Structure 1
């Protein structure tokens, strides 16, 4: 009996320990949930906060912030007047603003002498962390030049520390009719980045592991330690040293990117441009374009990449092909007749904003113009885009795609007889040729089977 009682007691103790562990786990989950609720309540309050002075607050994901701390102000006042120091600081900020603008960064309001700017404030870009690291290297180089000049003159200089972190935050934009919009930033990212900067040696740049994971393919970085972060554990910190030598035009300093860096950058940036263009097409294409809709553009982009690699073109040529495919039908938003010329106009305007070179833009426009009917491609890239544009002719989805084109032509009054349409399709398919060996290998056999299928549907006069 005693043995049975001991077993029962042991079971009760085990159950009690298990329940205590569950209570502890639930308590931790509850605390985490309460913290999330508090953050959401704060977000809701910020989102609802609108006043007559033009301020609006929006939660943003994927913001990258650079925090530049100017320390040692009192120690350098002895050799210079306070006014002179502030004049120099204003001069520095003006230069910082120029660099930030070039890399599409926004300056954030700050208290005191620290300088803060961020990417992803007005427009989400996957390249924001790269942009901000490039800007940081340029700012650091500029400060080193100023410091060297000051030492030559026997004057002191600030202990400047630069921290960079990527995360989420609440952005408050204050618009003004007379001045450029200004921004306030609250939340995790702005709360963390000063701590990142504080663990940096004077004159150096430290980035968080969040930022490091995005930029490590472009820059040389060195692990420096960890930063304890609430609810997450330790955050790894890395010293940003330079652009990688293989991607640097100035191999010694590592500040100026070379052509390979720019290509790698544009290939990453393409996804942002694609998302923006597809959204533009969805919102602006006429409703009667059942064939030339945004899905056709996505299809041509994918096929251009597939055929391009099949033809052995370079990564730079793939970028040109995909960009041309992305913009080749944007002109339909203006006018379908002569839309290729309109597409070139839109492409030129957009791509200039994304820092494509004039040479790249001209080549992209030439590729777009090659899709004009009847096609007459002169280069390999033009032959690839023509095959990509009509790739459906040799695919199993030919019939539904062809029906969409018929529906589009019917909507604009060009075609209203399905039998005549079938005859026209046979004529077009019989006279069509794929220009690339890749497309002929992948599509030619199936294209012939489509001709045979449509011929069975045609009703001749008198039948």
Structure 2
């Protein structure tokens, strides 16, 4: 027999902590024979959270959606559920209970008289709890159903997983940072060790280089470091100086050795400073003998004059020491100095103990000049005399026989010529310096022209060393005719030699680059700072648009454009056009000629000499260009 269903109302209870549980079940029991819907008597979450008891909601933390029997999500720590059912009061027959938890049980459980059902330690997930009665007649009543969801444990929630990811990322980041820091510490430690070792090596290298610099000339030392050996070089003109203490053997026997060495160190040290002052290379000292040479390792034409100047200064120093010694009632030494000019061979001898030395008849002859000289005087050979006679007062003293050479003339140098000395007291004056610089100008010319010939690019068909040589020659020609001084001639000729040296680095800003070469090279040739800046101004005056401010600038500007008045004008124009085309300045010869026509028409030479030297008028040159176009 089936019992009719009862009608139920569902009521929303309270909400705390986000859980939904059945609120209050009130039943209106119509007058029927049997109630077959289970009635919830007690509902417990966890072990002690009583939510429903005796038909009343004990906890206000849970509620049930109205008409839906769905609990709000249950925290994982409350994953044990306790259900207790009771018979309705009007039930007049014994009932069996049957339970089924979807998501946990596979099917309905067996009927039991136990009105209590308990589930413990449920996993997270969705569940539906079912309960029903079975009366004595074996009929099942309506099912009581309750939907609920058990949340995952906190440590498995999405936010915690996110925290896990962040935490793991932080750990990995910390590990990486720690390892990076450790690597940085190790790297810093290694770098510090390397830097310390490098500094030590640099210091040792500096010591070695300084030692080499004291033993060998700089270029020779550089060659030795780069190649491991030094090739011997022949110099066509070097001036060798020998000095020796007169009667040194007797002095050494009578004098205390320590004092003797100290005295030798004193004047040898001064000799070294004098040699350095005049760009003379010290070769060696043997006992009381001192040997040095000019014109090596850097070739120059002024070495005979510079070596004689050094010899005079050395003798003056020894005379000063002798005078001071006599004032104290002591004896002092006299030295003999001999000088000869000629070819030598220079190189490095030795493998473990290196030394820079020179060989040749010139060395032997210089030694003979010293031994044939007199104490307190400078004895020079005839070949040296030929180079220095315009600067010094020399006294002929006869001939000396030399093996394989015959007889050689000898001269005593008595000092600088009066007109070349300060107050005629023996020190070189400005006139002496200018005359010496005129000789140095020949060295400057040789070096810069050789550099330009070797290093200028092949696509420079006009601004090459030939053009530089032409400008230098024209400067001298115009300068002499205009009556400029020797010093002015030096400055304007130097500017002519360097005015296109900037093309060594390219066409762009070549005048400024030329000034860079001037400031870098000329100090080696004894040019003063004021002279160097004057040379730079002269170079910049040749830059377009041309507007010279003084006579020297007019001379170099006229010399630079002297080809405009020569018969080889067209050849020069074609070379210019070719150069401009090769360097993408113009696209054709015609374009360059068109630009030059207006320039030629407006051009005028500044100096009278340049106007006189013009071979072809500018009108004729312009017509020739127009015909070519």
- TM bin, normalised by shorter chain, reads 0.7 to 0.9
The residue number in structure 1 matching 2:346 is 171
Closer/same/farther in 2, CA of residues 322 and 182 from structure 1, 3 Å limit:
farther
Matched, 1:325 2:496: yes
Runs of 4+ aligned structure 1 residues displaced above 6 Å come to 50-53
TM alignment of 1:311-322, pairs within 5 A: 311-322=482-493
Matched, 1:114 2:285: no
Closer/same/farther in 2, CA of residues 152 and 71 from structure 1, 3 Å limit:
same
CA distance in 1: counterparts of 2:290 and 2:541, whole angstroms: 49
Moved more, 130-139 or 417-426: 417-426
For these two proteins, the number of residue pairs brought into alignment is: 405
The residue number in structure 1 matching 2:442 is 271
The residue number in structure 2 matching 1:338 is 509
The residue number in structure 2 matching 1:308 is 479
Determine if contact 1:247/1:259 at 8 Å carries over to the other structure: yes
CA deviation after TM superposition for structure 1 residue 149, in Å = 1.6
CA deviation after TM superposition for structure 1 residue 376, in Å = 1.3
CA deviation after TM superposition for structure 1 residue 77, in Å = 4.9
RMSD: 2.2
The residue number in structure 2 matching 1:68 is 243
The residue number in structure 2 matching 1:241 is 414
Moved more, 79-88 or 94-103: 79-88
Moved more, 359-368 or 422-431: 422-431
CA deviation after TM superposition for structure 1 residue 66, in Å = 0.5
Matched, 1:162 2:337: yes
TM-score (norm 2): 0.62
Closer/same/farther in 2, CA of residues 209 and 276 from structure 1, 3 Å limit:
same
What per-residue deviation string (whole Å, max 9, x for no partner) do you get for residues 110-167 of structure 1?
4332000001220111100000011111111111111112222233222310000011
CA distance in 2: counterparts of 1:116 and 1:360, whole angstroms: 34
What per-residue deviation string (whole Å, max 9, x for no partner) do you get for residues 350-408 of structure 1?
11111111121111111111011111111111111111111100001111111111110
Specify which structure has the higher proportion of helix.
Answer: 1
The residue number in structure 2 matching 1:206 is 379
> 1:241 aligns to what SS in structure 2?
strand
1:129 aligned to which of 299, 304, 309? 304
1:153 aligned to which of 323, 328, 331? 328
Matched, 1:363 2:534: yes
Matched, 1:391 2:562: yes
CA deviation after TM superposition for structure 1 residue 305, in Å = 0.8
The residue number in structure 2 matching 1:87 is 262
CA distance in 2: counterparts of 1:430 and 1:82, whole angstroms: 83
The residue number in structure 2 matching 1:58 is 233
CA distance in 2: counterparts of 1:440 and 1:166, whole angstroms: 45
Closer/same/farther in 2, CA of residues 284 and 188 from structure 1, 3 Å limit:
same
Matched, 1:416 2:587: yes
The residue number in structure 2 matching 1:17 is none
Determine if contact 1:76/1:155 at 8 Å carries over to the other structure: no
Closer/same/farther in 2, CA of residues 53 and 150 from structure 1, 3 Å limit:
farther
The residue number in structure 2 matching 1:96 is 271
What per-residue deviation string (whole Å, max 9, x for no partner) do you get for residues 242-278 of structure 1?
01000001412x1x21111111111111111100001
CA distance in 2: counterparts of 1:118 and 1:309, whole angstroms: 36
5+ long unaligned stretches in structure 2? 1-223
1:196 aligned to which of 369, 388, 397? 369
The residue number in structure 2 matching 1:183 is 356
Whichever of the two has the greater Rg, that structure is 2
Closer/same/farther in 2, CA of residues 295 and 286 from structure 1, 3 Å limit:
same
CA distance in 2: counterparts of 1:251 and 1:194, whole angstroms: 31
Determine if contact 1:329/1:343 at 8 Å carries over to the other structure: yes
| Higher relative contact order (CA closer than 8 Å, sequence separation 6+) | 1
The residue number in structure 1 matching 2:52 is none
Determine if contact 1:224/1:238 at 8 Å carries over to the other structure: yes
CA deviation after TM superposition for structure 1 residue 206, in Å = 0.5
2:577 aligned to which of 406, 411, 433? 406
CA deviation after TM superposition for structure 1 residue 419, in Å = 2.5
> 1:56 aligns to what SS in structure 2?
coil
CA distance in 2: counterparts of 1:54 and 1:147, whole angstroms: 44
